[in-house]
């Protein structure tokens, strides 16, 4: 979708075009797998030079929103491919073919009361916290218990609506224009507590992989905190961590 109505601001022209295209991608107006307008089409629509159009596309590529294909154009990519997180092997292959998610706790206002290696800042503690918990399945096998915390400051009315396409990351991106751009992680093996063992359908005391994650976002100082308990017997950990 092309919209040539842009407001004048102090940003360089290529940044303005970059922001317009980024928001169209984030809002789903240009979907994953679709091609952006060509450089010539961008020039005609926005009355810009080819150099400006090319620079805007180059910046989108650097941010991981698109892949530029020689002779074909710029295609919107799935951003989770570029996160460099740890991903449970099998999840990405099983999208739409066996993934199921149950909410153990729907998003609710909570306290910053988690005990993880990554701690919220004093500034974050001044805001209200949103907490939710999910159980993730592959082919009806429970493989992950996932707890998440984030500040309510940038995600107003987060608890009042369902996730976009059942995806937490897509909800942040499309509804709030917040992108996950990286993470800090800590991994260790822990014996499953009675509660975790019941959810993952394993024996109490069975070793599970415990991952604590501090997700970095496109808003400086704004983070998402998660802890994951993973049963890796059937779906071992690979090089990337898949979350949506």
In a shared domain, residues 37 and 124? no
Short-list 3, 8, 39, CA closest to 23: 3
State the CATH number of the domain containing residue 67.
Answer: 1.10.10.10
In a shared domain, residues 104 and 151? yes
- Rg from Cα positions in the chain: 20
Is 83 within 8 Å of 184 (Cβ atoms)? no
Rounded-to-10 torsion of CA 50, 177, 226, 101: -100
State the CATH number of the domain containing residue 113.
Answer: 3.40.1410.10
Short-list 130, 83, 138, 95, CA closest to 110: 130
E runs forming strands in the chain: 66-69, 73-76, 99-110, 129-138, 141-151, 180-191, 207-217, 223-230
DSSP of 187-241: EEEEEPPHHHHHHHTS-TT-EEEEEEEEEEESSTT-EEEEEEEE--SSS-B-SSB
The pLDDT tens digits for 217-240 are: 989 999 999 999 999 877 665 544
Q: Based on the structure, what is the number of domains in the chain?
A: 2
Which strand (E) or helix (H) includes residue 52?
Answer: helix 50-62
Domain, as residue range, for 114: 81-230
Low-confidence ranges of the chain (pLDDT < 50): 6-8, 80-96, 239-242
Say what the pLDDT of residue 11 is: 85
Say what the pLDDT of residue 138 is: 83
Say what the pLDDT of residue 3 is: 57
> How is residue 104 annotated by DSSP?
E
């Amino acid at each position: 979708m092309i919209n040539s109505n842009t407001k004048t601001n102090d940003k360089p022209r290529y940044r303005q075009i970059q922001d317009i295209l980024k928001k169209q991608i984030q809002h789903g107006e240009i979907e994953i797998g679709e091609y952006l307008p060509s450089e010539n089409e961008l020039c005609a629509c926005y009355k810009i030079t080819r150099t400006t159009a090319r620079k805007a596309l180059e910046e989108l590529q650097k941010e991981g929103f698109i892949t530029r294909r020689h002779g074909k154009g710029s295609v919107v990519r799935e951003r989770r491919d570029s996160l460099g997180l740890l991903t449970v092997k099998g999840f990405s292959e099983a999208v739409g073919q066996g993934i199921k998610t149950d909410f153990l706790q729907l998003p609710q206002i909570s306290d910053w009361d988690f005990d993880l290696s990554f701690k919220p800042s004093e500034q974050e503690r001044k805001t209200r916290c949103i907490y939710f918990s999910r159980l993730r399945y592959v082919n009806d096998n429970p493989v992950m218990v996932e707890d998440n915390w984030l500040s309510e400051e940038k995600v107003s009315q987060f608890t009042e609506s369902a996730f976009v396409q059942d995806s937490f990351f897509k909800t942040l991106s499309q509804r709030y224009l917040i992108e996950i751009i990286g993470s800090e992680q800590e991994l260790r093996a822990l014996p499953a507590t009675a509660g975790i063992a019941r959810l993952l359908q394993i024996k109490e005391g069975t070793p599970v992989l415990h991952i604590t994650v501090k997700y970095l976002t496109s808003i400086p100082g704004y983070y998402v905190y998660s802890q994951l308990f993973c049963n890796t017997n059937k779906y071992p950990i690979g090089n990337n961590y898949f979350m949506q």
